[in-house]
Chains A and B, each alone.
Chain A
Amino acid sequence: MTSVAAVHTLWTMADGAAGSPLAPDGPGRIPAPHIEYAQLAPTLIVLGAAVLAVLVEAFWPRRGRYYAQVLLSVVALAAAFAAVIGLAAGGFGTTKAHIAAMGALAVDGPALFLQGTILLVSLIAIFTFAERRLDPAAHGRPVDSFAAQGAAVPGGEAEKAAVKAGFTTTEVFPLALFAIGGMLVFPAANDLLTLFVALEVFSLPLYILCALARRQRLLSQESAVKYFLLGAFSSAFLLFGVALLYGYAGTVTYAGIAEVVSDGAKQIDPALADTMGNDALLLIGGALVVMGLLFKVGAVPFHMWTPDVYQGAPTPVTGFMAAATKVAAFGALLRLLYVALPGLRWDWRPVMWGVAILTMLAGAVIALTQTDVKRLLAYSSIAHAGFILAGVIATSRNGISSVLFYLLAYSFVTLGAFAVVTLVRDAGGEATHLSKWAGLGRRSPLVAAVFAVFLLAFAGIPLTSGFAGKFAVFKAAAESGAGWLVVIGVLSSAVAAFFYIRVIVLMFFNEPKADGPTVAVPSPLTMTAIAVGVVVTLVLGLAPQYFLDLAGQAGVFVR
């Protein structure tokens, strides 16, 4: 009965006991929270646009809906990016960095840098979402990569009717906007509840997006179910960890947890008298929360969903997910480890060492046996998660800025690579089996060369952004004394290089097959996406200093 009484005390205390901050207004009156709307503008713009997009979906005539949605998404993302730039120029990334929205969100360098990256990447990803020239027109109407009607049973009458009527799933745009909104909050979340809410806000739309492929719908739906089930598990773990950490610290804010970790609990909350300051809760809770984040990052042993989901999801969604989710999730992981749990680093660093090594090696080695481009890129993304973890482990300012830089470099390469995958097609849609890519360099040298540039960047060949990023994280790791991690990192890069090179061999040195795929000519949308990917890859490879400076200035978390 004591526990029930304790809970009761908790509520009564909040309700109007003397000394409570709510007391002056009397019981039952909750003051409006103080929200810095201007500083949260990027997130608010995107989420507002998402709500607007739902209304468009409901009321706009079907004929013009596609154009309205594309325009709305692009304008919203561009405006949000402009807001990020404005905040950064206003010094919110450095001197004016602080915690906004009653302690829920941080407005600081890493948050702004990652939000800017996510917005840019999403803007490019929206271009690939909107691409309508790759699939042959159905009944005289241009179609995109998404199912005519998500609710129609694959192969059923309803689907045929939907295709005949020329439906397209314009819902993907509001869904993407909601996901982007969640991703913007995720790396800025400064308490565990906001973290969890943001996770759900960006995950749920992604599950739906994964199920919406126009071709191979069953595979796509299967991937969505797998992603959803495993994602739900990881969310549950994360939530459980949040509960345990609350039990340990008596608060869900990062700063509060960090304080309890370093100084011990000063004021024991009577409701939590049995649990506060109990290290077992801290360790288990911390591990569960980190596990939830490592799942989103795709680190071994929480990577199982990656290949199936990457393969089954519509390729534009895969590209978006692979690039933006990774940025958001690493941002959140960094903030959690650096702001909430720095006092625990002697505990989490060895574990992260193990995870990083496993992730690098498993990603690189399993990728060797893949025969599908999208699965190959999935395992490559796992290996890259391992490289980024090497920077996370550094626990230094250089570690933060190197991870920020790596994420910027990596996300554009990934997006570009998946955009190229959408171009290579045969009668059954995208030809993702590697054997079909043989001799692509002879048929369409330009597309093959562009893909080769992305592969070389993945492999970390000098003069590409991949090399600068890899060098930055390994340098940070080496400076923090993780020399052997670096050695394992370069060895797994050597393994990884092998399978990237194998694709290049296939494209350039193998004779093209007679019934091989053709390269579709995309609209300027996808072309822009690919061109931006190439330009960013080369610029970050040749002259990375400006962006390293940016990441360096952004490399301080606000507490």
Chain B
Amino acid sequence: MSFPLLTATAAVPAIGAVATAAVPAAKRTAAKWLALLFSLATLALALVIAVRFDPGAKGPFQLSESHAWIADFGVRYELGVDGISVALIALTALLIPFVILAGWHDADALDHDNANRRWRPTQGLFALILAVEAMVILSFEATDVFLFYIFFEAMLIPMYFLIGGFGDRAGTHDATEGAARRSSAAVKFLLYNLAGGLIMLAAVIGLYAVTADQLGTGTFSLSQIVQARAAGELTMGAGTERLLFLGFFFAFAVKAPLWPLHTWLPGAMGESTAPIAVLITAVVDKVGTFAMLRFCLQLFPEASKWATPVILVLALISILYGALLAVAQRDIKRLVAYASISHFGFIILGIFAMTSQGQSGATLYMVNHGISTAALMLVAGFLITRRGSRLIADYGGVQKVAPVLAGTFLIGGLATLSLPGLAPFVSEFLVLVGTFSRYPVIGIIATVGIVLAALYVLVLYQRTMTGPVRAEVQGMPDLKARELVVVAPLIALLLFLGVYPKPLTSIVNPAVDHTLSVVDRQDPKPDVRVNAEPHEAGSDRDAEAAK
């Protein structure tokens, strides 16, 4: 038996969470370093996965592990990765150390006015972050539907405590009011996701009933169900398949979030600290879009095709609605939240366009959006901590006082608006091309989202960073060493993946092809390939022209 690499990658942060939580109250700094250490160890293991993963290998999943777990429910502890999960595990493992570093002092204030030695906010914060990381990684690895569901649901609990317990204290005059707003945001987050999850539970049980009925023994194994379908042993009636698909999709659309199920996100991101907001949008929400690719499309291919028109329209509405509301925001964090809704619209558009460019683009988009939002949001968090306000109107002329902060903020912003040369451009472009080749009208309308993105990012930059220096901003310190350590690697990655996305695309493409083959969809124009560089260079110009 080989070393259980996938289990280990999830076990390290889980052990880290327990270890961090166990650190005595007085040793706060030790707890922080311990958490950082465990997150770095996880990153190392994630890189080992990426290296060990062979994009050219046959079969849908690699590094698989399979153990009996709950035989009565037909549940096995089955892990495996395809290219898409490798990319997303790497993203998760990469972002968590930055989240921890950026949130280094977030619990200090809580610890300060804390008379009770048994209540340990610092340990709690970092332990919960690591717990979320472990569950997110497991849900990327699980190839058993039930196993996935368990972590998909269970991660809500630590997330809920992170949002409600460690919220942003900036911009609230009165502690009770702030607490009330935080807890209502946390409750909204939980209720939306729990309701989605429970509806999915009904569909999960339904799936079991269908497999038990037709295969003799109920199973949740993704590969077994896909094989049985291909072999014709398992046939679902159109009505059943659609209901099950809707049950799954509903949960993922809440998580992703897709309009009109998005309303929990701005509150949750606005009220939590910047690192937690990054955790929500860049890491946890990706599980939703990932699960659409892995479970919705592969388990219910016919129903996915049936639902495509509606989902594309909803995605389109998300893109435009999110962007328009971002333009209208006065609160920096809520602006980023609405921008994220717009971006999730692009991801879902790419997934359901059912073309290889679209889905490769969507997968790259998940990774790139994670990095770019992390960069923008974390710098915004540094800014907000300095000034103590989330309102755009409270800033002005920061550029002259803190040039490095302003510069990094601009790069994060430009990445968010998908400037060519930065990573998100590649993915957004692929999504649009992929959509256009099958649904030209939708592709064209979606492009408007890019224009709006330019508007909200640049107006945000202009109002906060340029113009006369406001009195309150006077003397604002520039980025400190710890903050630079957080931001610099993210920006470097954005530049690198913008110029040379091949490492990612070569991992992702075979998985996308496999997904499409399960769904039984061919590209309309098979000659356009993702990793054909010359083609991309040419298309850059098209996109610029389109702007």
User: Which chain A residues have a beta carbon within 8 Å of chain B's beta carbons?
Assistant: 441-446, 456, 459, 461-463, 467-468, 471-472, 474-475, 478-479, 483, 486-487, 489-491, 493-494, 497-498, 501-502, 505, 508-511, 543-545, 548-549, 552
Residue of B nearest to A401 (CB): B72
Nearest CB of B to A317, in Å = 31
Nearest CB of B to A482, in Å = 10
Complex Cα spacing A551 to B527, Å: 58
A505-B164 in contact (CB<8A): yes
A456-B73 in contact (CB<8A): no
Given A491-B198, A505-B183, A509-B164, residue A443 in contact with residue B205 (CB < 8 A): no
- Per-residue interface assignment for chain B, residues 179 to 199, with 1 indicating a CB less than 8 Å from any chain A CB and 0 otherwise: 100110011001100110011
Measured between beta carbons, the chain A residues less than 8 angstroms from B179 are: 509-511
Complex Cα spacing A97 to B160, Å: 49
A462-B165 in contact (CB<8A): no
A462-B119 in contact (CB<8A): no
Residue of B nearest to A549 (CB): B72
Pairs across A and B, CB under 8 Å, 30 listed:
A443-B116, A456-B157, A459-B194, A461-B153, A461-B156, A462-B150, A462-B151, A467-B150, A471-B73, A472-B73, A475-B73, A478-B206, A478-B209, A486-B202, A486-B205, A486-B206, A487-B202, A489-B202, A490-B199, A491-B198, A497-B194, A498-B191, A502-B187, A509-B179, A509-B182, A511-B175, A544-B70, A548-B70, A548-B71, A548-B72
Given A445-B119, A474-B205, A478-B208, residue A494 in contact with residue B198 (CB < 8 A): yes
Measured between beta carbons, the chain A residues less than 8 angstroms from B164 are: 505, 508-509
A462-B153 in contact (CB<8A): yes
Complex Cα spacing A106 to B154, Å: 41
Asked if B436 is an interface residue, CB under 8 A from chain A, the answer is no
A483-B183 in contact (CB<8A): no
Complex Cα spacing A367 to B156, Å: 22
B165-A509 in contact (CB<8A): yes
Residue of B nearest to A506 (CB): B183
Measured between beta carbons, the chain A residues less than 8 angstroms from B190 are: 497, 501
- Interface residues in B198-254 by Cβ distance below 8 A to A read 198-199, 201-202, 205-206, 208-209, 212-213
**Which range holds the interface residue count of chain B?**
35 or more
Nearest CB of B to A146, in Å = 31
Measured between beta carbons, the chain B residues less than 8 angstroms from A471 are: 73, 201, 205
Nearest CB of B to A524, in Å = 20
Measured between beta carbons, the chain A residues less than 8 angstroms from B154 are: 461-463
Given A444-B118, A446-B118, residue A494 in contact with residue B194 (CB < 8 A): yes
Nearest CB of B to A244, in Å = 38
Measured between beta carbons, the chain A residues less than 8 angstroms from B151 are: 462
Asked if B69 is an interface residue, CB under 8 A from chain A, the answer is yes
- Per-residue interface assignment for chain B, residues 411 to 435, with 1 indicating a CB less than 8 Å from any chain A CB and 0 otherwise: 0000000000000000000000000
Complex Cα spacing A501 to B163, Å: 14
Complex Cα spacing A280 to B289, Å: 58
Asked if B149 is an interface residue, CB under 8 A from chain A, the answer is yes
Given A510-B179, A511-B176, residue A545 in contact with residue B194 (CB < 8 A): no
Asked if B53 is an interface residue, CB under 8 A from chain A, the answer is no
Complex Cα spacing A489 to B199, Å: 10
Measured between beta carbons, the chain B residues less than 8 angstroms from A511 are: 175-176, 179
A483-B206 in contact (CB<8A): yes
Nearest CB of A to B167, in Å = 9
Complex Cα spacing A508 to B167, Å: 13
Measured between beta carbons, the chain B residues less than 8 angstroms from A497 are: 190-191, 194, 198
Complex Cα spacing A472 to B186, Å: 29
Asked if B33 is an interface residue, CB under 8 A from chain A, the answer is no
Complex Cα spacing A478 to B243, Å: 14
Measured between beta carbons, the chain A residues less than 8 angstroms from B183 are: 505, 509-510
By Cβ-Cβ distance, the 4 closest A-B pairs, closest first, are A462-B150, A509-B183, A548-B72, A490-B198
What secondary structure prevails in chain A residues at the interface with B?
helix
- Interface residues in B139-160 by Cβ distance below 8 A to A read 149-151, 153-154, 156-157, 160
Asked if B161 is an interface residue, CB under 8 A from chain A, the answer is yes
Measured between beta carbons, the chain A residues less than 8 angstroms from B194 are: 459, 494, 497, 501
Measured between beta carbons, the chain A residues less than 8 angstroms from B206 are: 478, 483, 486
Complex Cα spacing A463 to B14, Å: 14
Complex Cα spacing A487 to B199, Å: 7
Complex Cα spacing A491 to B175, Å: 35
A478-B205 in contact (CB<8A): yes
Complex Cα spacing A471 to B206, Å: 11
Measured between beta carbons, the chain A residues less than 8 angstroms from B175 are: 511
Measured between beta carbons, the chain A residues less than 8 angstroms from B153 are: 461-462, 467
B195-A494 in contact (CB<8A): yes
Complex Cα spacing A511 to B116, Å: 13
Complex Cα spacing A489 to B151, Å: 21
Residue of B nearest to A480 (CB): B209
Measured between beta carbons, the chain B residues less than 8 angstroms from A441 are: 119
Complex Cα spacing A474 to B73, Å: 11
Given A462-B154, A501-B191, A510-B179, residue A545 in contact with residue B205 (CB < 8 A): no
Complex Cα spacing A501 to B149, Å: 20
B209-A490 in contact (CB<8A): no
Measured between beta carbons, the chain A residues less than 8 angstroms from B150 are: 462-463, 467
Measured between beta carbons, the chain A residues less than 8 angstroms from B116 are: 442-443
Residue of A nearest to B182 (CB): A509
Measured between beta carbons, the chain A residues less than 8 angstroms from B149 are: 462
Complex Cα spacing A508 to B163, Å: 12
Given A475-B208, A486-B202, A509-B164, residue A545 in contact with residue B71 (CB < 8 A): yes
**Additional 15 contacts, C-beta under 8 A, given A446-B118, A462-B149, A475-B208:** A441-B119, A443-B116, A443-B119, A444-B118, A475-B73, A483-B206, A486-B205, A487-B202, A490-B199, A491-B198, A509-B182, A511-B176, A545-B68, A548-B73, A549-B71
**Which of A445, A472, A478, A510 is within 8 Å of B118, CB to CB?**
A445
B165-A508 in contact (CB<8A): yes
Nearest CB of B to A155, in Å = 38
Interface hub of B118, B165, B194, B212 (most chain A Cβ within 10 A): B194
Complex Cα spacing A510 to B178, Å: 11
Complex Cα spacing A332 to B201, Å: 30
B212-A479 in contact (CB<8A): yes
Residue of A nearest to B167 (CB): A509
Residue of B nearest to A441 (CB): B119
Given A463-B150, A501-B187, A509-B182, residue A475 in contact with residue B165 (CB < 8 A): no
Measured between beta carbons, the chain B residues less than 8 angstroms from A474 are: 201-202, 205
Measured between beta carbons, the chain A residues less than 8 angstroms from B198 are: 490-491, 493-494, 497
Residue of B nearest to A464 (CB): B154
B186-A475 in contact (CB<8A): no
Complex Cα spacing A444 to B116, Å: 9
Complex Cα spacing A445 to B156, Å: 20
Residue of B nearest to A456 (CB): B157
Measured between beta carbons, the chain A residues less than 8 angstroms from B187 are: 501-502, 505
Nearest CB of B to A383, in Å = 13
Nearest CB of B to A96, in Å = 24
Nearest CB of A to B409, in Å = 31
